Chains A and B, each alone.
Chain A
Amino acid sequence: MTDHLSTATLNALADGELSADQLTSTQEHLAGCQACTSSALFQSLLKSATARAGQRYAAPQELLVRLSPQKLSKFNTRPSISPGLTTATQPQAGANTPPVRYQAVFGWAVAAALLIASLSIILVQRNQQQVAAISQAVSEISDQHIAMLASSQPLAVLSSDRHTVKPWFQGKLPFSFNLPDNLPVDTRLEGANLTYLRNQPVAQLVYSIGNHSVSVFVKPKISSNLPTNFSAESSGFHFISATTATLQFEAISDVDPKRLSQLVDILERTQIQQ
């Protein structure tokens, strides 16, 4: 037992977290205790010195520019890019207009060039929209998969039995799907979660392939900028998307892409067969 102030009190004093009563009694103690006064001074100096040393990294100017809501919106929602591109191209077109005496000769050529340029811009925009949509989908799926891996909570339904996992979703999803009976070698159904992607409830089926965890998100097929079937890689994770007539499957894992593809193929075929 010590008569000195506790570590917690000294820290709270330095951090300005003591109540009025605590502060009064602490100050009374400090008035008569040189050792604690010295400790309090050290704690206070350590705090202010840490504050100074902690202000170490200044944000780059380019980042600050990128963080404006207009820029973020542009990054987030591709359609807002279109008007900007259109207006940006108009002055250039005007500036490239040939002199009057050449108009008769080059008129059609300019029109053709503008047409080609417009088509190119449309194609580039479509490509950009598709790339952005894929990037957004992969990012969201990765977040969900990583969160599942990091979570200490068990899956909402823990079972390797497809007749347990599938019925669990009854009443929770506005669609249904089939689960395969025969899985590839070393592949096992671990369970499932109900989760949300793009504000829609979806089934997150969790499989294991060897020691690798796989998340397969099942949702209704909707029209979007995403291509129907595609694969991608992000931060070491492989991502495969496949669609049937009514459903879309998005699978993610760090397992060999061929084995991930096998699982997705079986899931896809199961929807047609059953």
Chain B
Amino acid sequence: MKLLSWRRAVPQSVPQAVAFEDLALPLASSLYNIAHWLTRSSTEAEDLVQETYLKALRGFAAFEPGTNFKAWIFRILRNTYLTSRSGLAAMRTVALEDELNESSERGHHAYPESAIDRHTPETNLIVLLNRAALESAMQQLPTSLLEVILLCDVEEMKYKEIATVLDIPIGTVMSRIARARAAMRQTLQQHPNYVPESRA
């Protein structure tokens, strides 16, 4: 079994504690937001973020200064989520679907080109401004797609950073983003204000 770095950590000294505070506390809101989306529960999200900070604090001595702290602590959050009860349940549910989709990506058709709207009526842009419709579309995403879209769009992480956080290849990041957006688009198409386009 792989030993997680924060388990090997030595207790932090005072200067490290100060640096940890400077680096970690500004990310608390972002971590909580992601945790809430993933767990769908405020209580679980609070526990998840607190556990993440405890692990990060314990393992801070193992963190290399100058490297990407945000990706590091988000990875801890994600790994902690995966070992939680709701994380295990969510990942088991999508595991098979993910395997099937990612194996097909190695073949010719990575994701359907029809997922892209080549003629977007202006009225459809209004649907994008409907926050409730978007939140609903996000909530319907399976966890593996939701987490990638949260890191990409909400946290504005680069593909490389997302690959580090999720411990997956960049190609898989790209295909999951495409699948997530295609799925959201499909959900938004069911919105009453959405106008089906006619392809030229």
A residues neighboring B (CB under 8 Å): 2, 4, 6-8, 10-12, 15, 17, 35-36, 38-39, 41-43, 45-60, 63-64, 66-69, 72-73, 75-77, 143-144, 146-151, 153, 156, 193-196, 199, 204, 235-236
CA distance A183 to B93 in the complex (A): 35
B200 contacts A by Cβ under 8 Å? yes
- Residues of A contacting B116 in the complex (Cβ-Cβ under 8 angstroms): 4, 7, 10, 39, 43
- Residues of A contacting B31 in the complex (Cβ-Cβ under 8 angstroms): 59
Q: For the A-B complex with A51-B153, A56-B36, A67-B28 known, give 19 more contacts whose Cβ atoms are closer than 8 Å.
A: A4-B118, A11-B178, A15-B152, A15-B177, A36-B118, A38-B117, A39-B116, A45-B128, A48-B153, A50-B184, A52-B134, A53-B138, A54-B138, A55-B154, A58-B32, A59-B28, A64-B29, A66-B50, A193-B1
Question: Could you pull out 18 A-B pairs where Cβ atoms are within 8 angstroms?
Answer: A6-B113, A7-B110, A8-B174, A46-B185, A47-B152, A50-B134, A52-B134, A53-B138, A54-B33, A55-B154, A56-B135, A58-B29, A67-B53, A69-B21, A72-B57, A146-B83, A147-B83, A156-B1
Once the chains bind, are A46 and B28 in contact (CB under 8 Å)? Answer: no
Chain B facing A: main interface SS: helix
CB distance from B29 to the nearest CB of A (A): 5
CA distance A46 to B132 in the complex (A): 14
- Residues of A contacting B29 in the complex (Cβ-Cβ under 8 angstroms): 58-59, 64
CA distance A235 to B158 in the complex (A): 36
Chain A facing B: main interface SS: helix
Once the chains bind, are B82 and A35 in contact (CB under 8 Å)? Answer: no
Residue among A15, A43, A75 making CB contact with B54, cutoff 8 Å: A75
B3 contacts A by Cβ under 8 Å? yes
CB distance from B69 to the nearest CB of A (A): 14
CB distance from B28 to the nearest CB of A (A): 5
B residues neighboring A (CB under 8 Å): 1, 3, 7-8, 11, 17, 20-21, 24-25, 28-29, 31-33, 36-37, 42, 45-46, 49-50, 53-54, 57-58, 82-83, 85, 88, 91, 110-113, 115-120, 124-125, 128-129, 131, 134-135, 138, 149-150, 152-154, 156, 158-159, 174, 177-178, 181-182, 184-185, 200
CA distance A249 to B97 in the complex (A): 39
CA distance A171 to B31 in the complex (A): 42
CB distance from B132 to the nearest CB of A (A): 9
Q: Which 9 A-B pairs have the closest CB atoms?
A: A54-B154, A59-B32, A35-B118, A57-B36, A53-B134, A50-B153, A49-B128, A42-B120, A69-B17
Given A42-B124, A50-B138, A72-B54, A57 and B178 touching (CB < 8 A)?
no
CB closest chain-A residue, reference B177: A11
CA distance A50 to B136 in the complex (A): 11
- Residues of B contacting A7 in the complex (Cβ-Cβ under 8 angstroms): 110-113, 115-116, 178, 182
- Residues of B contacting A196 in the complex (Cβ-Cβ under 8 angstroms): 3, 7-8
CA distance A169 to B25 in the complex (A): 42
CB closest chain-A residue, reference B17: A69
Residue among B1, B53, B113, B174 making CB contact with A72, cutoff 8 Å: B53
CB distance from A88 to the nearest CB of B (A): 22
CB distance from B37 to the nearest CB of A (A): 7
Once the chains bind, are A11 and B174 in contact (CB under 8 Å)? Answer: yes
- Residues of B contacting A199 in the complex (Cβ-Cβ under 8 angstroms): 7-8
Once the chains bind, are A50 and B149 in contact (CB under 8 Å)? Answer: yes
